[in-house]
Amino acid sequence: MPSRAISAYTTEATNSTSDMIVNVGSTTRRQNIDGIIAGIFTSQGQLLYAASSLNTTFLNPPSSGGGVLSYSSLSSAPSWLILDSGELVYASSVGILTSLGAPSSGSILYYSTVDGSIGPRWAIVNAGTLVYGPGTTLAIGSSGQILQSTAGVPTWVNSNTVTGTFTTIGTSGQVLQSTGGSAAWVNSTTLTGSLNSTATVGWRVLLSPAQAITTGAFLSIDNWSTEVFDTDAFHSTDAGATSQVTITVPGHYIIGAQILTTDGGTTGGTHQVRFVDGAASIIRVDEQKSSANIAINLVLGYYFATSGSTISLDINIVDGTTSNISSAQTAWWGYRVGP
């Protein structure tokens, strides 16, 4: 059959520069290429792709809404990833796209490397909830609990179960002391040399044993052998002539004493107690006693310009019988209250 020019054939569509020679039944026709390709598709939005070698097919449009076009190396074909409102797209593995649905309100986005759930995840967080990795949440504890970490895992525990760290409140005036890793409330007066602010510099000593006194002259009270506290080495603990107080920190002091004698004087008898700074009397109190076990109290304010002054307590019985100073309630104290 002799060759014919393409323009000599009858056309199936409007003349175009993109015409091809086709067979329509047993008749050779001239056909526009757009018409040939359009004949493959059956609906609007379809995408043409190679299903295999020398084989074409098409991908239908998403069934609803929009989608993300992706290619799967497993199926060797494109597909639509349909997303709902708020979803995120990520690669679940090499070449595989998937989506993460939108969370409820108040969620936190984190990344997980745990086998079987590698990728972004949402952690649902309620009021007071803590988040620790990977994406684990811990609800708020109950009232009064504290956060404790054990082997890297946080938990809420009652404060009184944390040994040596927390304890119940002590009584008025106590301080918290740690001994051997355990905490306990103790009286501040038992912390020898530990409290050293302006208001707590001082001493408090007790008489022991009892001391005999006679009439007619002042005698030094010497048996101050029991220290309740002594912050700055004011006193030595012996019971003898050297058991006095030496001022080691200059300043203003409040000094006081209570002396309890065991025997009363005769009618009109008087007990005299005085503070002495070196050889000079600072203050004297005269107390008439007609019965036993009556305490004599004296308190004074005194300024020591320098350190080194030695002070003592003296007692005298005038017109009375011999007596003893009881160790039960006889005490001597002093506090530094200012520079």
**248-279 tens-digit pLDDT:** 889 999 999 998 887 655 544 677 888 888 87
- Lowest mean per-residue pLDDT among 4-13, 54-63, 126-135: 4-13
What is the C-alpha separation between 157 and 239, in angstroms, rounded?
52
Per-residue pLDDT, 197? 45
Q: What's the pLDDT tens digit per position in 204-231? A: 999 888 888 877 788 888 888 888 888 8
**Which residue type occupies 45?**
G
Residue that wins the pLDDT comparison between 66 and 194: 66
Q: What is the pLDDT of residue 265?
A: 52
Given CA atoms 205, 206, 212, 215 in this order, what sign does their dihedral have?
positive
Residues 223, 330: Cα–Cα separation, whole Å: 10
Q: Where does residue 118 rank: exposed (0-12), middle (13-18), buried (19+ CB within 10 A)?
A: middle
- Given a contact cutoff of 8 angstroms between Cβ atoms, the answer to whether 213 and 219 are in contact is yes
**Model confidence over 108-159: pLDDT tens digits?**
787 777 766 778 888 777 777 787 766 677 888 888 888 888 787 888 888 7
**pLDDT score, position 268:** 47
* Distance separating alpha carbons of residues 325 and 321, to the nearest angstrom: 13
- Return the domain boundaries, the chain: 6-39, 163-191, 198-338
Confidence (pLDDT) at 154: 87
Amino acid identity, position 62: P
**Weakest-pLDDT range from 9-13, 129-133, 201-205:** 9-13
- Write out pLDDT tens, residues 147-196: 888 787 888 888 777 765 555 677 777 787 777 767 778 877 666 554 44
Residues 6+ positions from 133 with CB-CB distance below 8 Å: 110
pTM: 0.41
Residues with Cβ < 8 Å from 3, sequence gap 6 or more? none
Would you state the CATH architecture of domain 198-338? Sandwich (2.60)
